[in-house]
Structure 1
Protein backbone atom coordinates (compact mmCIF):
# COMPACT_ATOMS: atom_id res chain seq x y z
CA UNK A 1 0.00 0.00 0.00
CA UNK A 2 1.38 3.42 -0.98
CA UNK A 3 2.31 5.77 1.85
CA UNK A 4 1.02 9.35 1.93
CA UNK A 5 2.83 12.42 3.25
CA UNK A 6 0.93 15.35 4.80
CA UNK A 7 2.80 18.56 5.58
CA UNK A 8 -0.13 20.77 6.67
CA UNK A 9 -1.65 19.42 9.88
CA UNK A 10 -4.54 21.86 9.57
CA UNK A 11 -5.73 20.30 6.31
CA UNK A 12 -5.91 16.52 6.67
CA UNK A 13 -8.30 14.62 4.35
CA UNK A 14 -10.98 12.44 5.88
CA UNK A 15 -9.40 9.22 4.60
CA UNK A 16 -6.29 9.87 6.72
CA UNK A 17 -8.22 10.27 9.97
CA UNK A 18 -8.85 7.48 12.45
CA UNK A 19 -5.30 6.18 12.40
CA UNK A 20 -3.08 4.64 15.05
CA UNK A 21 -0.04 6.94 15.15
CA UNK A 22 3.48 6.66 16.54
CA UNK A 23 4.96 9.93 17.80
CA UNK A 24 8.58 11.05 17.56
CA UNK A 25 11.37 12.64 15.53
CA UNK A 26 12.35 9.33 13.88
CA UNK A 27 15.81 10.54 12.83
CA UNK A 28 17.41 7.55 11.17
CA UNK A 29 14.32 5.32 11.41
CA UNK A 30 16.45 2.75 13.22
CA UNK A 31 15.50 -0.63 14.72
CA UNK A 32 14.16 1.04 17.85
CA UNK A 33 11.79 3.13 15.74
CA UNK A 34 10.77 0.04 13.78
CA UNK A 35 10.02 -1.71 17.08
CA UNK A 36 7.75 1.17 18.12
CA UNK A 37 5.88 1.14 14.80
CA UNK A 38 5.49 -2.65 14.73
CA UNK A 39 4.33 -2.78 18.35
CA UNK A 40 1.68 -0.18 17.58
CA UNK A 41 0.48 -2.09 14.54
CA UNK A 42 0.23 -5.35 16.52
CA UNK A 43 -1.85 -3.62 19.20
CA UNK A 44 -4.14 -1.84 16.70
CA UNK A 45 -4.10 -3.98 13.53
CA UNK A 46 -7.48 -2.75 12.29
CA UNK A 47 -6.48 0.92 12.20
CA UNK A 48 -4.43 2.63 9.49
CA UNK A 49 -0.80 2.92 10.58
CA UNK A 50 0.57 6.45 10.87
CA UNK A 51 3.49 8.47 12.21
CA UNK A 52 3.45 12.00 13.60
CA UNK A 53 6.86 13.63 13.21
CA UNK A 54 8.44 17.06 12.85
CA UNK A 55 10.47 18.96 10.26
CA UNK A 56 12.95 20.40 10.87
CA UNK A 57 14.16 18.41 13.85
CA UNK A 58 13.44 20.59 16.94
CA UNK A 59 17.15 20.69 17.77
CA UNK A 60 17.80 22.44 14.45
CA UNK A 61 15.43 25.23 15.51
CA UNK A 62 16.61 25.58 19.10
CA UNK A 63 20.35 25.11 18.50
CA UNK A 64 21.07 26.40 14.98
CA UNK A 65 24.76 26.87 15.82
CA UNK A 66 25.25 23.10 16.30
CA UNK A 67 27.07 21.20 13.54
CA UNK A 68 24.76 19.25 11.20
CA UNK A 69 23.64 16.05 12.90
CA UNK A 70 20.81 14.53 10.89
CA UNK A 71 20.91 10.83 10.04
CA UNK A 72 18.00 11.16 7.62
CA UNK A 73 16.46 14.18 5.96
CA UNK A 74 12.74 14.43 5.36
CA UNK A 75 12.50 12.51 2.08
CA UNK A 76 14.79 9.72 3.31
CA UNK A 77 12.81 9.44 6.54
CA UNK A 78 9.53 9.21 4.64
CA UNK A 79 10.89 6.43 2.42
CA UNK A 80 12.15 4.49 5.44
CA UNK A 81 8.82 4.83 7.25
CA UNK A 82 6.95 3.73 4.13
CA UNK A 83 9.19 0.64 4.01
CA UNK A 84 7.95 -0.21 7.53
CA UNK A 85 4.35 -0.25 6.28
CA UNK A 86 3.37 3.20 7.52
CA UNK A 87 0.43 4.47 5.48
CA UNK A 88 0.22 8.09 6.64
CA UNK A 89 3.11 10.35 7.66
CA UNK A 90 1.98 13.57 9.33
CA UNK A 91 5.06 15.80 9.04
CA UNK A 92 4.46 18.87 11.18
CA UNK A 93 6.37 22.06 10.37
CA UNK A 94 8.31 22.77 13.55
CA UNK A 95 8.72 26.54 13.53
CA UNK A 96 8.89 29.21 16.23
CA UNK A 97 5.09 29.46 16.54
CA UNK A 98 4.58 25.71 16.80
CA UNK A 99 7.36 25.41 19.37
CA UNK A 100 5.34 27.66 21.68
CA UNK A 101 2.23 25.49 21.54
CA UNK A 102 1.31 24.23 25.03
CA UNK A 103 1.25 20.47 25.54
CA UNK A 104 -2.53 20.36 26.04
CA UNK A 105 -3.15 22.20 22.78
CA UNK A 106 -0.90 19.74 20.93
CA UNK A 107 -3.09 16.90 22.13
CA UNK A 108 -6.41 18.69 21.69
CA UNK A 109 -5.87 20.77 18.56
CA UNK A 110 -3.38 18.66 16.62
CA UNK A 111 -3.76 15.00 17.56
CA UNK A 112 -7.50 14.99 18.30
CA UNK A 113 -9.11 17.74 16.21
CA UNK A 114 -6.81 18.05 13.20
CA UNK A 115 -5.39 14.55 12.72
CA UNK A 116 -8.26 12.62 14.27
CA UNK A 117 -5.99 9.87 15.59
CA UNK A 118 -7.67 7.07 17.56
CA UNK A 119 -4.59 5.58 19.19
CA UNK A 120 -1.07 6.87 19.82
CA UNK A 121 2.18 5.20 20.77
CA UNK A 122 5.49 6.63 21.96
CA UNK A 123 8.49 5.82 24.08
CA UNK A 124 8.56 6.46 27.83
CA UNK A 125 10.92 9.43 27.33
CA UNK A 126 8.73 11.27 24.80
CA UNK A 127 8.28 14.95 25.74
CA UNK A 128 6.31 17.56 23.82
CA UNK A 129 4.74 20.99 23.92
CA UNK A 130 6.20 24.34 24.93
CA UNK A 131 9.56 23.87 26.67
CA UNK A 132 8.92 20.10 26.56
CA UNK A 133 6.32 20.54 29.27
CA UNK A 134 4.21 17.55 28.22
CA UNK A 135 5.08 14.24 29.85
CA UNK A 136 3.91 10.78 28.87
CA UNK A 137 1.72 10.59 31.99
CA UNK A 138 0.00 13.84 31.01
CA UNK A 139 -0.33 12.57 27.43
CA UNK A 140 -1.97 9.35 28.60
CA UNK A 141 -4.36 11.17 30.92
CA UNK A 142 -5.50 13.85 28.49
CA UNK A 143 -5.69 11.53 25.49
CA UNK A 144 -7.84 9.11 27.48
CA UNK A 145 -10.25 11.93 28.30
CA UNK A 146 -10.59 12.54 24.55
CA UNK A 147 -11.14 8.88 23.73
CA UNK A 148 -7.67 8.31 22.28
CA UNK A 149 -5.90 5.10 23.25
CA UNK A 150 -2.28 5.33 24.38
CA UNK A 151 0.56 2.77 24.31
CA UNK A 152 3.84 3.55 26.07
CA UNK A 153 6.32 1.23 24.40
CA UNK A 154 9.54 0.22 26.19
CA UNK A 155 12.65 0.98 24.17
CA UNK A 156 14.25 -1.82 22.20
CA UNK A 157 17.66 -2.52 23.74
CA UNK A 158 20.67 -4.77 23.48
CA UNK A 159 23.66 -5.37 25.75
CA UNK A 160 24.86 -1.79 25.14
CA UNK A 161 21.53 -0.22 26.08
CA UNK A 162 18.58 1.20 24.16
CA UNK A 163 18.83 1.73 20.42
CA UNK A 164 18.94 5.46 19.76
CA UNK A 165 19.79 8.01 17.09
CA UNK A 166 22.47 9.41 19.41
CA UNK A 167 24.18 6.04 19.65
CA UNK A 168 24.16 5.59 15.87
CA UNK A 169 25.58 9.09 15.33
CA UNK A 170 28.46 8.22 17.66
CA UNK A 171 29.19 5.00 15.77
CA UNK A 172 29.39 6.87 12.47
CA UNK A 173 31.58 9.61 13.91
CA UNK A 174 33.88 6.95 15.37
CA UNK A 175 34.21 5.22 11.99
CA UNK A 176 31.98 2.15 12.37
CA UNK A 177 29.43 2.32 9.51
CA UNK A 178 28.91 -1.47 9.61
CA UNK A 179 27.86 -1.31 13.28
CA UNK A 180 25.62 1.65 12.54
CA UNK A 181 24.01 -0.40 9.76
CA UNK A 182 23.24 -3.18 12.24
CA UNK A 183 21.32 -0.72 14.41
CA UNK A 184 19.61 1.03 11.51
CA UNK A 185 18.59 -2.23 9.84
CA UNK A 186 20.20 -0.98 6.59
CA UNK A 187 23.39 0.82 5.56
CA UNK A 188 23.54 4.51 6.42
CA UNK A 189 23.21 6.70 3.33
CA UNK A 190 23.93 10.26 2.35
CA UNK A 191 21.54 11.61 -0.26
CA UNK A 192 22.23 14.75 -2.23
CA UNK A 193 22.61 16.50 -5.54
CA UNK A 194 25.73 15.92 -7.59
CA UNK A 195 27.56 19.24 -7.94
CA UNK A 196 30.55 20.42 -9.93
CA UNK A 197 33.95 20.01 -8.29
CA UNK A 198 37.45 21.01 -9.35
CA UNK A 199 37.78 18.02 -11.74
CA UNK A 200 40.91 16.82 -9.91
CA UNK A 201 39.53 13.28 -9.65
CA UNK A 202 39.15 13.08 -13.43
CA UNK A 203 42.72 14.33 -13.91
CA UNK A 204 43.92 11.62 -11.50
CA UNK A 205 42.10 8.98 -13.52
CA UNK A 206 39.28 8.49 -11.02
CA UNK A 207 36.33 10.80 -11.84
CA UNK A 208 34.05 11.47 -8.90
CA UNK A 209 30.51 12.57 -8.21
CA UNK A 210 30.68 15.34 -5.62
CA UNK A 211 27.94 15.71 -3.01
CA UNK A 212 27.83 18.29 -0.23
CA UNK A 213 26.95 16.83 3.16
CA UNK A 214 24.50 19.67 3.83
CA UNK A 215 22.47 18.94 6.95
CA UNK A 216 23.70 15.34 7.17
CA UNK A 217 25.92 14.28 10.02
CA UNK A 218 29.59 14.25 9.07
CA UNK A 219 30.91 10.74 9.74
CA UNK A 220 34.56 9.95 10.42
CA UNK A 221 36.65 11.47 7.66
CA UNK A 222 38.22 8.95 5.36
CA UNK A 223 37.69 6.52 2.50
CA UNK A 224 34.65 4.21 2.41
CA UNK A 225 33.33 1.36 0.33
CA UNK A 226 29.94 2.40 -1.00
CA UNK A 227 26.88 1.40 -2.94
CA UNK A 228 25.41 4.21 -5.01
CA UNK A 229 21.74 4.36 -5.92
CA UNK A 230 21.35 6.29 -9.15
CA UNK A 231 18.36 8.54 -9.96
CA UNK A 232 16.70 5.78 -12.03
CA UNK A 233 17.02 3.22 -9.23
CA UNK A 234 20.07 1.35 -10.53
CA UNK A 235 22.83 0.62 -8.02
CA UNK A 236 26.57 0.66 -8.57
CA UNK A 237 29.53 -0.11 -6.33
CA UNK A 238 32.01 2.62 -5.59
CA UNK A 239 34.56 4.12 -3.24
CA UNK A 240 34.10 7.51 -1.57
CA UNK A 241 36.25 10.01 0.24
CA UNK A 242 34.59 12.12 2.92
CA UNK A 243 36.60 15.02 4.25
CA UNK A 244 38.46 18.21 3.38
CA UNK A 245 40.89 16.83 0.76
CA UNK A 246 44.08 17.98 2.53
CA UNK A 247 46.40 16.90 -0.30
CA UNK A 248 44.64 19.06 -2.89
CA UNK A 249 43.13 21.93 -0.89
CA UNK A 250 43.23 23.10 2.68
CA UNK A 251 39.47 23.43 2.77
CA UNK A 252 37.22 24.12 5.71
CA UNK A 253 34.18 22.36 4.24
CA UNK A 254 33.87 18.62 4.18
CA UNK A 255 32.32 16.99 1.16
CA UNK A 256 31.82 13.53 -0.25
CA UNK A 257 33.52 12.53 -3.50
CA UNK A 258 32.41 9.13 -4.77
CA UNK A 259 34.08 7.24 -7.60
CA UNK A 260 31.48 4.94 -9.15
CA UNK A 261 33.05 1.82 -10.65
CA UNK A 262 32.70 1.26 -14.40
CA UNK A 263 30.46 4.29 -14.83
CA UNK A 264 30.81 7.30 -17.14
CA UNK A 265 27.35 8.90 -17.32
CA UNK A 266 26.69 12.56 -16.53
CA UNK A 267 25.07 12.97 -13.10
CA UNK A 268 25.43 16.73 -12.58
CA UNK A 269 22.33 18.24 -11.03
CA UNK A 270 20.82 14.84 -10.25
CA UNK A 271 20.24 13.32 -6.82
CA UNK A 272 22.01 10.15 -5.76
CA UNK A 273 22.06 8.14 -2.53
CA UNK A 274 25.41 6.83 -1.30
CA UNK A 275 25.39 4.00 1.27
CA UNK A 276 28.53 3.62 3.39
CA UNK A 277 29.71 0.10 4.22
CA UNK A 278 33.34 -0.02 5.41
CA UNK A 279 35.86 2.61 6.45
CA UNK A 280 39.00 1.63 4.54
CA UNK A 281 41.31 4.22 6.04
CA UNK A 282 41.21 7.65 7.70
CA UNK A 283 41.76 10.86 5.76
CA UNK A 284 45.43 11.57 5.10
CA UNK A 285 47.54 14.27 3.49
CA UNK A 286 49.91 12.81 0.86
CA UNK A 287 53.28 14.22 -0.17
CA UNK A 288 52.35 14.47 -3.84
CA UNK A 289 49.53 13.95 -6.31
CA UNK A 290 51.33 10.85 -7.60
CA UNK A 291 51.28 9.34 -4.11
CA UNK A 292 47.61 10.20 -3.82
CA UNK A 293 46.89 8.61 -7.21
CA UNK A 294 48.64 5.40 -6.17
CA UNK A 295 46.66 5.28 -2.93
CA UNK A 296 43.37 5.84 -4.75
CA UNK A 297 44.19 2.89 -7.02
CA UNK A 298 44.87 0.76 -3.94
CA UNK A 299 41.66 1.95 -2.27
CA UNK A 300 39.66 1.13 -5.40
CA UNK A 301 41.08 -2.38 -5.65
CA UNK A 302 40.45 -3.05 -1.97
CA UNK A 303 36.92 -1.66 -2.18
CA UNK A 304 36.03 -3.85 -5.16
CA UNK A 305 37.23 -6.93 -3.29
CA UNK A 306 35.40 -6.08 -0.05
CA UNK A 307 32.15 -5.30 -1.84
CA UNK A 308 32.34 -8.51 -3.87
CA UNK A 309 33.03 -10.53 -0.72
CA UNK A 310 30.10 -8.82 1.00
CA UNK A 311 27.82 -9.71 -1.90
CA UNK A 312 29.01 -13.33 -1.95
CA UNK A 313 28.32 -13.73 1.79
CA UNK A 314 24.74 -12.48 1.55
Structure 2
Protein backbone atom coordinates (compact mmCIF):
# COMPACT_ATOMS: atom_id res chain seq x y z
CA UNK A 1 0.00 0.00 0.00
CA UNK A 2 1.52 3.33 -1.11
CA UNK A 3 0.33 5.23 1.94
CA UNK A 4 1.86 2.83 4.49
CA UNK A 5 5.58 2.51 5.24
CA UNK A 6 6.54 -0.14 7.76
CA UNK A 7 10.06 -0.97 8.90
CA UNK A 8 11.68 -3.25 11.43
CA UNK A 9 14.85 -1.46 12.56
CA UNK A 10 17.54 -3.27 14.56
CA UNK A 11 19.89 -1.87 17.19
CA UNK A 12 22.45 -0.97 14.52
CA UNK A 13 20.06 1.13 12.44
CA UNK A 14 19.63 -1.45 9.68
CA UNK A 15 16.03 -1.58 8.48
CA UNK A 16 13.93 -4.27 6.85
CA UNK A 17 10.65 -3.39 5.17
CA UNK A 18 7.52 -5.17 6.39
CA UNK A 19 4.58 -5.57 4.08
CA UNK A 20 1.47 -4.11 5.73
CA UNK A 21 -1.09 -6.77 6.47
CA UNK A 22 -4.30 -7.13 8.38
CA UNK A 23 -2.53 -8.14 11.62
CA UNK A 24 -2.82 -6.09 14.77
CA UNK A 25 0.04 -3.55 14.70
CA UNK A 26 0.39 -3.85 18.47
CA UNK A 27 1.83 -7.34 17.93
CA UNK A 28 4.49 -6.32 15.45
CA UNK A 29 7.05 -5.59 18.14
CA UNK A 30 6.64 -8.88 20.06
CA UNK A 31 9.80 -10.55 18.77
CA UNK A 32 11.63 -7.49 17.45
CA UNK A 33 15.31 -7.05 18.32
CA UNK A 34 15.03 -3.30 17.77
CA UNK A 35 11.76 -1.51 17.13
CA UNK A 36 9.11 -1.10 14.45
CA UNK A 37 8.37 2.15 12.68
CA UNK A 38 4.99 2.45 11.01
CA UNK A 39 4.31 5.59 8.98
CA UNK A 40 0.88 6.32 7.48
CA UNK A 41 0.27 8.99 4.86
CA UNK A 42 -3.44 9.67 5.14
CA UNK A 43 -3.40 11.64 1.89
CA UNK A 44 -3.07 8.29 0.08
CA UNK A 45 -6.13 6.19 -0.60
CA UNK A 46 -6.75 3.37 1.85
CA UNK A 47 -4.27 4.52 4.49
CA UNK A 48 -6.94 5.85 6.86
CA UNK A 49 -9.04 2.68 6.62
CA UNK A 50 -5.97 0.54 7.27
CA UNK A 51 -5.00 2.58 10.35
CA UNK A 52 -8.54 2.51 11.75
CA UNK A 53 -8.51 -1.30 11.51
CA UNK A 54 -5.01 -1.65 12.98
CA UNK A 55 -6.15 -2.54 16.50
CA UNK A 56 -4.88 0.57 18.28
CA UNK A 57 -6.32 1.77 21.55
CA UNK A 58 -9.33 4.07 20.95
CA UNK A 59 -7.62 7.08 22.55
CA UNK A 60 -4.49 6.58 20.46
CA UNK A 61 -6.49 6.06 17.27
CA UNK A 62 -8.54 9.21 17.84
CA UNK A 63 -5.39 11.24 18.54
CA UNK A 64 -3.68 10.01 15.37
CA UNK A 65 -6.73 10.62 13.18
CA UNK A 66 -7.87 13.95 14.67
CA UNK A 67 -8.59 16.53 11.92
CA UNK A 68 -6.93 19.40 13.83
CA UNK A 69 -4.05 19.22 16.29
CA UNK A 70 -1.61 21.46 18.09
CA UNK A 71 1.92 20.52 19.20
CA UNK A 72 1.68 18.65 22.47
CA UNK A 73 3.16 15.75 24.44
CA UNK A 74 0.88 13.49 26.47
CA UNK A 75 1.88 10.43 28.49
CA UNK A 76 -0.53 7.50 28.08
CA UNK A 77 0.41 4.36 29.94
CA UNK A 78 3.86 3.25 28.79
CA UNK A 79 3.63 5.27 25.59
CA UNK A 80 3.70 8.90 24.55
CA UNK A 81 1.39 10.80 22.19
CA UNK A 82 3.43 13.52 20.51
CA UNK A 83 2.20 16.05 17.94
CA UNK A 84 4.64 18.20 15.98
CA UNK A 85 4.31 20.61 13.07
CA UNK A 86 6.42 21.29 9.99
CA UNK A 87 6.42 24.09 7.44
CA UNK A 88 4.26 23.46 4.39
CA UNK A 89 6.57 23.23 1.39
CA UNK A 90 4.01 21.64 -0.92
CA UNK A 91 3.60 23.47 -4.25
CA UNK A 92 0.80 26.01 -4.22
CA UNK A 93 0.45 26.07 -0.41
CA UNK A 94 1.46 28.73 2.10
CA UNK A 95 4.51 27.83 4.17
CA UNK A 96 2.85 29.12 7.35
CA UNK A 97 0.00 26.62 6.86
CA UNK A 98 1.99 24.08 8.85
CA UNK A 99 1.52 20.33 8.37
CA UNK A 100 0.95 18.18 11.46
CA UNK A 101 2.90 15.04 12.34
CA UNK A 102 1.19 12.83 14.92
CA UNK A 103 3.18 10.14 16.78
CA UNK A 104 2.53 7.25 19.13
CA UNK A 105 5.79 6.14 20.74
CA UNK A 106 6.47 3.10 22.90
CA UNK A 107 9.59 1.12 23.75
CA UNK A 108 9.29 -1.07 20.62
CA UNK A 109 6.83 0.68 18.33
CA UNK A 110 6.64 4.12 16.74
CA UNK A 111 3.61 5.11 14.66
CA UNK A 112 3.73 8.39 12.75
CA UNK A 113 0.81 9.85 10.81
CA UNK A 114 0.65 12.75 8.38
CA UNK A 115 -2.41 14.19 6.64
CA UNK A 116 -0.40 15.93 3.91
CA UNK A 117 3.06 15.47 2.42
CA UNK A 118 5.79 16.42 4.86
CA UNK A 119 9.27 16.62 3.37
CA UNK A 120 11.01 16.17 6.72
CA UNK A 121 9.46 12.70 7.02
CA UNK A 122 10.61 11.91 3.50
CA UNK A 123 14.16 12.82 4.52
CA UNK A 124 14.13 10.32 7.39
CA UNK A 125 12.48 7.64 5.26
CA UNK A 126 15.28 8.07 2.72
CA UNK A 127 17.88 7.58 5.49
CA UNK A 128 16.15 4.38 6.60
CA UNK A 129 16.09 3.06 3.03
CA UNK A 130 19.85 3.69 2.80
CA UNK A 131 20.43 1.60 5.93
CA UNK A 132 21.16 4.63 8.09
CA UNK A 133 18.11 4.38 10.30
CA UNK A 134 17.84 5.36 13.97
CA UNK A 135 18.80 2.78 16.56
CA UNK A 136 16.11 3.68 19.09
CA UNK A 137 12.58 5.16 19.13
CA UNK A 138 13.79 8.34 20.84
CA UNK A 139 16.47 8.73 18.17
CA UNK A 140 13.76 8.47 15.50
CA UNK A 141 11.69 11.18 17.20
CA UNK A 142 14.78 13.38 17.54
CA UNK A 143 15.64 12.92 13.86
CA UNK A 144 12.13 13.83 12.79
CA UNK A 145 12.18 16.93 15.01
CA UNK A 146 15.60 17.96 13.71
CA UNK A 147 14.52 17.47 10.09
CA UNK A 148 11.46 19.62 10.79
CA UNK A 149 13.82 22.30 12.08
CA UNK A 150 16.08 21.88 9.02
CA UNK A 151 13.14 22.52 6.71
CA UNK A 152 11.92 25.47 8.76
CA UNK A 153 15.27 27.29 9.03
CA UNK A 154 15.42 28.43 5.35
CA UNK A 155 11.88 29.78 5.66
CA UNK A 156 12.77 31.78 8.77
CA UNK A 157 16.00 32.98 7.14
CA UNK A 158 13.98 34.13 4.13
CA UNK A 159 11.69 36.17 6.39
CA UNK A 160 14.77 37.76 7.99
CA UNK A 161 16.10 38.75 4.57
CA UNK A 162 12.76 40.28 3.60
CA UNK A 163 12.75 42.37 6.77
CA UNK A 164 16.30 43.53 5.93
CA UNK A 165 15.07 44.71 2.52
CA UNK A 166 12.13 46.54 4.08
CA UNK A 167 14.40 48.27 6.58
CA UNK A 168 16.47 49.55 3.66
CA UNK A 169 13.31 50.76 1.97
CA UNK A 170 12.38 52.71 5.07
CA UNK A 171 15.54 54.74 4.58
CA UNK A 172 14.90 55.28 0.87
CA UNK A 173 11.14 55.83 1.13
CA UNK A 174 8.20 53.53 1.65
CA UNK A 175 6.06 52.34 -1.25
CA UNK A 176 2.66 50.69 -1.21
CA UNK A 177 4.18 47.35 -2.27
CA UNK A 178 6.61 47.36 0.66
CA UNK A 179 3.73 47.94 3.09
CA UNK A 180 1.96 44.93 1.57
CA UNK A 181 5.12 42.83 1.94
CA UNK A 182 5.41 43.91 5.56
CA UNK A 183 1.90 42.65 6.28
CA UNK A 184 2.72 39.32 4.64
CA UNK A 185 5.89 38.92 6.72
CA UNK A 186 4.13 39.77 9.96
CA UNK A 187 1.34 37.30 9.22
CA UNK A 188 3.79 34.50 8.37
CA UNK A 189 5.94 35.09 11.45
CA UNK A 190 2.92 35.14 13.77
CA UNK A 191 1.46 31.93 12.35
CA UNK A 192 4.81 30.11 12.43
CA UNK A 193 5.50 31.32 15.97
CA UNK A 194 2.09 30.06 17.06
CA UNK A 195 3.23 26.48 16.46
CA UNK A 196 6.99 26.73 17.05
CA UNK A 197 6.70 27.72 20.71
CA UNK A 198 4.31 24.86 21.70
CA UNK A 199 6.48 22.47 19.67
CA UNK A 200 9.49 23.46 21.75
CA UNK A 201 7.50 22.80 24.91
CA UNK A 202 6.26 19.43 23.60
CA UNK A 203 9.80 18.23 22.83
CA UNK A 204 11.02 19.48 26.20
CA UNK A 205 8.22 17.60 27.96
CA UNK A 206 9.05 14.40 26.08
CA UNK A 207 12.74 14.77 26.94
CA UNK A 208 12.09 14.98 30.71
CA UNK A 209 9.49 12.19 30.92
CA UNK A 210 10.59 9.48 33.38
CA UNK A 211 10.10 6.50 31.06
CA UNK A 212 12.51 3.56 31.38
CA UNK A 213 12.91 3.11 27.63
CA UNK A 214 14.15 6.68 26.96
CA UNK A 215 17.93 6.22 26.84
CA UNK A 216 20.39 9.00 27.83
CA UNK A 217 21.62 9.38 24.25
CA UNK A 218 18.05 9.90 23.14
CA UNK A 219 17.51 12.57 25.78
CA UNK A 220 20.60 14.40 24.51
CA UNK A 221 19.31 14.34 20.94
CA UNK A 222 15.86 15.47 22.06
CA UNK A 223 17.48 18.33 23.98
CA UNK A 224 19.29 19.34 20.81
CA UNK A 225 16.00 19.34 18.87
CA UNK A 226 14.40 21.40 21.64
CA UNK A 227 17.19 23.98 21.44
CA UNK A 228 16.78 24.22 17.67
CA UNK A 229 13.06 24.86 18.06
CA UNK A 230 13.79 27.40 20.80
CA UNK A 231 16.16 29.29 18.50
CA UNK A 232 13.60 29.28 15.68
CA UNK A 233 10.90 30.59 18.02
CA UNK A 234 13.25 33.35 19.22
CA UNK A 235 14.10 34.31 15.64
CA UNK A 236 10.41 34.51 14.79
CA UNK A 237 9.91 36.74 17.83
CA UNK A 238 12.73 38.97 16.57
CA UNK A 239 11.22 39.07 13.06
CA UNK A 240 7.85 40.07 14.49
CA UNK A 241 9.45 42.79 16.62
CA UNK A 242 11.53 44.09 13.70
CA UNK A 243 8.44 44.14 11.49
CA UNK A 244 6.65 46.16 14.16
CA UNK A 245 9.54 48.64 14.26
CA UNK A 246 9.40 48.98 10.47
CA UNK A 247 5.63 49.49 10.70
CA UNK A 248 6.15 52.23 13.30
CA UNK A 249 8.73 53.88 11.05
CA UNK A 250 6.30 53.77 8.15
CA UNK A 251 3.59 55.39 10.25
CA UNK A 252 6.02 58.03 11.52
CA UNK A 253 7.13 58.81 7.97
CA UNK A 254 3.56 59.11 6.75
CA UNK A 255 2.59 61.27 9.75
CA UNK A 256 5.60 63.54 9.18
CA UNK A 257 4.76 63.95 5.49
CA UNK A 258 1.14 64.71 6.33
CA UNK A 259 2.14 67.23 9.00
CA UNK A 260 4.45 68.97 6.56
CA UNK A 261 1.69 69.19 3.97
CA UNK A 262 -0.75 70.54 6.54
CA UNK A 263 1.84 73.12 7.64
CA UNK A 264 2.28 74.33 4.06
CA UNK A 265 -1.49 74.61 3.62
CA UNK A 266 -1.76 76.50 6.92
CA UNK A 267 1.00 78.94 5.93
CA UNK A 268 -0.59 79.56 2.52
CA UNK A 269 -3.94 80.19 4.19
CA UNK A 270 -2.31 82.54 6.73
CA UNK A 271 -0.63 84.52 3.94
CA UNK A 272 -3.78 84.95 1.87
CA UNK A 273 -6.09 85.60 4.79
CA UNK A 274 -5.11 89.30 5.30
CA UNK A 275 -4.83 89.79 1.52
CA UNK A 276 -8.34 88.43 1.08
CA UNK A 277 -9.59 90.62 3.93
CA UNK A 278 -8.21 93.78 2.28
CA UNK A 279 -9.53 92.94 -1.18
CA UNK A 280 -12.91 92.02 0.28
CA UNK A 281 -13.07 95.29 2.20
CA UNK A 282 -12.18 97.31 -0.91
CA UNK A 283 -14.76 95.42 -2.93
CA UNK A 284 -17.83 96.54 -0.98
CA UNK A 285 -20.21 98.58 -3.09
CA UNK A 286 -20.89 101.59 -0.83
CA UNK A 287 -20.25 105.29 -1.17
CA UNK A 288 -17.10 106.94 0.15
CA UNK A 289 -14.71 104.27 -1.13
CA UNK A 290 -11.25 105.98 -1.24
CA UNK A 291 -9.53 106.08 -4.62
CA UNK A 292 -12.68 105.30 -6.55
CA UNK A 293 -12.01 108.24 -8.88
CA UNK A 294 -8.21 107.83 -8.98
CA UNK A 295 -7.01 105.89 -12.09
CA UNK A 296 -3.80 104.77 -10.33
CA UNK A 297 -5.52 103.54 -7.15
CA UNK A 298 -5.76 99.94 -8.47
CA UNK A 299 -2.00 99.72 -9.02
CA UNK A 300 -1.30 101.28 -5.66
CA UNK A 301 -3.49 98.70 -3.92
CA UNK A 302 -1.97 95.87 -5.97
CA UNK A 303 1.55 96.97 -5.08
CA UNK A 304 0.59 97.21 -1.42
CA UNK A 305 -0.80 93.68 -1.49
CA UNK A 306 2.40 92.39 -3.08
CA UNK A 307 4.50 94.12 -0.45
CA UNK A 308 2.28 92.75 2.32
CA UNK A 309 2.48 89.23 0.88
CA UNK A 310 6.29 89.39 0.68
CA UNK A 311 6.42 90.70 4.24
CA UNK A 312 4.26 87.81 5.48
CA UNK A 313 6.47 85.26 3.70
CA UNK A 314 9.52 86.84 5.32
CA UNK A 315 7.89 86.68 8.75
CA UNK A 316 6.99 83.00 8.36
CA UNK A 317 10.52 82.20 7.27
CA UNK A 318 11.92 84.03 10.27
CA UNK A 319 9.80 81.96 12.67
CA UNK A 320 10.79 78.71 10.93
CA UNK A 321 7.41 77.79 9.47
CA UNK A 322 8.83 77.84 5.94
CA UNK A 323 12.10 76.39 4.75
CA UNK A 324 14.99 78.79 4.80
The verdict on a shared fold, with TM-score over 0.5 as the criterion, is no
Query: Which has more strand, going by share of residues?
Result: 1
Q: TM-score, normalised by structure 2?
A: 0.25
Question: Which is bigger in relative contact order (C-alpha 8 A, separation at least 6)?
Answer: 1
Q: TM-score, normalised by structure 1?
A: 0.25
Larger radius of gyration between Structure 1 and Structure 2: 2
